[in-house]
Every structure is written in C-alpha cells, then in structure tokens.
Amino acid sequence: MGAKLGCGRSGGQIVREASTHVLLIGLLVVFAFLGAVAFSFIEKPSENERDRLGRDQLDKLVEQIVNRTLLFYKEGSHLDADENKTEEFQIFLRSNLKSLAGETPDHELQWSFLGSLFFCCTVFTTIGYGHIAPSTNLGKVVCMLYATIGIPLMLLVLTDLGDLFARGLTCCYTSIKHRATAPPGSDGDEHRKLAPPGSADGPFTKRSGRNDSKNDEQRAARTTENPQTGPKPEESAAGTAGSEWESKTLDVPFSLIFLIVFAYLMVGAFLLPCWEKWGYLDAFYFCFVTMTTIGLGDIVPKHPNFFLLTSVYIIIGMAVISMAFKLTQERIYNLYSKVFNNKERKCRLDVIK
C-alpha cells in the first residue's frame, strides 16, 4: 500500500526514473500514431465512396424538390418566375437541405489522420464514444487487435503517471506543510522531521552516543538472560509508529485532491468552448464523463483540427484521475491504520496495567 516518497533522490536515480516514464509515454505516442495511419488507410477509401454516393443522392433529391417547387409556384401564380429569383431559391433550398443532411461547407471526413488519431485515443482509453467506428471487415479486425494491445499499454501508462503525479504532489504538499509549521529560524532537515521513531536521525531520539551504547548493552543483556522474552511494549509501540510513518508517505488531504481534479476539469470547461459549440456546463459535463471513462457519447467533439489537443487533454486528465484514486485510496488506508493502531495500542496498555 504505502508507496515511498520520492523526495531527496540522487541525480542518477531521477534520470533513470525519468527515462522509464519517457519510454512508456513514447511507446504510447508511437502506438497511437501507427494506429491513426493504419485506420486512415483502411477506412478512408470506403468513407470516400460513401461520401460520393451520398452527395450524388443528395444532389438528385435537391434537384427533384427544386423542380417540383418551381412547377407548383408557376401553376399557382400563373406567372413566369423571375430567373434571378429562381436561381436564388435553388441555392437557398440546396444549402438548407444539405445542412439538414449534416453536410456543411467545411465538411471533413471522419477518417482523416487527426480523426483516426482521436478514434485510437477513444479505443485504448476505453472511452468509446461510438460516433466514429470502423465499417469495413478489416477495420473491425484491426480494431480488436489494436484494443488488445493498446488497453494494457494505456493502463500501464496511467498507473505510471498516476504514481508519478501522486509522489510529486505529496512532495510539494509535505514541503509546503513543513515550511509552514516549522518554527522561525529552524534549519532542521525535512527528513529529520519525517524520520520514523527510533531512528538515529528522528526527533524522538535524543540520546547521546554514550547512552545509546549503554542502552544497547542493557538490551543485549536482557536478551541473553531471557531469550524467550519478546520486545517490550515501548519497543513495540515504536515499531508500530514506524510502520505508521511509512504508510503516511502519500498522505494528502481529500480537500486538496478534490481541488486539483476540479481545477483540471474547469480548465477543460473553459478551453473546449473556444472551438466547440458548447456551453460551459456541457463542456464540464463532457470532461467529467470522459475522464471517468464513462463515455456516454451524447456530447462529442466535432472540430477535427483540435482532435490532437483534445486527445492530449484527455490522456493527461485520466492520469490526474488515476492520481486522485491512488491518493484517496492511500488516505483511506492511512485513516484506517491510524484508528486500528490506536485501538491496538490502547488494548496493550490496558493489558500492561
């Protein structure tokens, strides 16, 4: 449970750990780009053909409606329609019918490179909005194989980034808390304040070297005289306190965890409406449903030029949620351990009395 705090590491350790994180993220990026190229190559020809057939059918439908409308207009008014007005009416009717059919002047295909990249993001993050899906048999087979490899890789990256964010947040929180609570003029190191009870550097150990040696000799003598005798209650309490200290390395308040998650969601709520036709509430709702991988699909991004930025925001957000889950789990475990250890210590003291 208790992950160790990542503060005070040497430069070599930081470089080795950073290289591991960069390698995992690099693998995910390469995997996403390869998937985007593959799906764009597989699905784009079929989509182009469907788009061409759809345009032809729409043009025929528009032509029929225009002709019938003009015929009705001429018969009803018994007058010849003005050619300029007829042309304007054709343009107006044609554009509105195409808009109703979902076709806009800046219409772009879903299986462009950026669209395919966004689809890959929805696959290996298990969000699955459903508004983009393969239609060819080959695309469906590749999608299943891609998800089989991509989902475990994404979970590995999320776990790694979640742990990294959790340790980093804990280091920042511990450092700020230590500086805020330290008495003025104190120059003690943080590791001395955080050292487990009974250690040589801990604040609970105030014995000189001579007293330490004397106490060690007395402890060794007691053990020699009565080898069956276990540790004293005081020593057990010190060991229990040490285990408590180890489990508190990721002890961050619930309020701070909630504040960070809420702030990240608010960034998306204010950022996405800049290019999507959403209100702030809809954008916040989309961010929440996406980060929690619910992916209802009732609100989905439609601006392909920003699919890459949206994908990056989603992946980082899922790592933030993973960090929040880990810190919340550690916080609950620490509270449980504290209550349990206090009860156990109280029972031991009652037995001694």
List, for residues 268-280, the tens digit of each pLDDT value. 999 999 999 899 9
The two most distant CA atoms of the chain are separated, in Å, by 125
Name the pLDDT band for 186 (thresholds 50, 70, 90): low
pLDDT of amino acid 218: 53
Could you tell me the two tokens for 175? Answer: 């450092």
Most confident range (mean pLDDT) of 216-225, 232-241, 264-273 is 264-273
Cβ pair 131, 299 in contact under 8 A: no
pLDDT, mean over the chain: 77
Could you tell me the two tokens for 76? Answer: 């009803």
Q: What are phi and psi of 255, to 5 degrees?
A: -60, -40
Residue 8 is given by DSSP the state S
Q: How far apart are CA 180 and CA 165, in angstroms?
A: 22
Could you tell me the two tokens for 189? Answer: 């190191």
Most confident range (mean pLDDT) of 148-152, 193-197, 210-214 is 148-152
Q: What is the mean pLDDT of residues 142-148?
A: 96
pLDDT of amino acid 208: 42
Q: How far apart are CA 115 and CA 310, in angstroms?
A: 11
| Number of residues in the chain | 353
Q: What is the mean pLDDT of residues 138-155?
A: 96
Query: Does residue 175 sit in helix, strand or coil?
Result: helix
The region of weakest confidence among 21-30, 240-249, 285-294 is: 240-249
What CA dihedral angle connects 296, 297, 299 and 305, to 10 degrees?
130
Of 56 and 268, the structure prediction assigns the larger pLDDT to 268
Q: Is it the case that residue 306 has pLDDT exceeding 60?
A: yes
What CA dihedral angle connects 227, 228, 233 and 235, to 10 degrees?
40
pLDDT of amino acid 241: 44
Looking up tokens 């290289």 gives 19
Q: Output the pTM of the full model.
A: 0.69
pLDDT of amino acid 89: 65
Distances (CA, A) of 250 to 104, 130, 166, 169, 245: 51, 37, 7, 9, 10
pLDDT of amino acid 334: 82
Q: Is it the case that residue 344 has pLDDT exceeding 60?
A: yes
Q: Is it the case that residue 256 has pLDDT exceeding 90?
A: yes
Cβ pair 174, 194 in contact under 8 A: yes
CA-wise closest residue to 198 among 243, 249, 248: 243
Q: How far apart are CA 125 and CA 293, in angstroms?
A: 7
Name the pLDDT band for 185 (thresholds 50, 70, 90): low
Give start and end residues of each alpha helix (H) in the chain.
11-77, 83-100, 113-124, 137-181, 190-194, 209-225, 233-247, 254-271, 280-291, 307-352
Cα torsion 291, 295, 300, 303: sign: positive
Q: What is the mean pLDDT of residues 303-316?
A: 91
Name the pLDDT band for 347 (thresholds 50, 70, 90): confident
Burial 249-272 (b: 16+ CB within 10 A, else e): bbbbeeeebeebbeebbeebbebb
Name the pLDDT band for 26 (thresholds 50, 70, 90): very high
Taking CA 145 as the corner, what is the angle to CA 143 and CA 151, rounded to the nearest 5 degrees? 90
Q: Is it the case that residue 231 has pLDDT exceeding 60?
A: no
Q: What is the mean pLDDT of residues 93-116?
A: 69
Percent of the chain past pLDDT 90, that is, above it, reads: 39
Query: Does residue 50 sit in helix, strand or coil?
Result: helix
Q: How far apart are CA 198 and CA 99, in angstroms?
A: 75
Of 146 and 204, the structure prediction assigns the larger pLDDT to 146
pLDDT of amino acid 25: 93
Most confident range (mean pLDDT) of 147-156, 209-218, 338-347 is 147-156
Q: Is it the case that residue 248 has pLDDT exceeding 80?
A: no
Percent of the chain past pLDDT 70, that is, above it, reads: 65
Q: What are phi and psi of 187, to 5 degrees?
A: -125, 25
Q: How far apart are CA 220 and CA 222, in angstroms?
A: 5
Name the pLDDT band for 235 (thresholds 50, 70, 90): very low
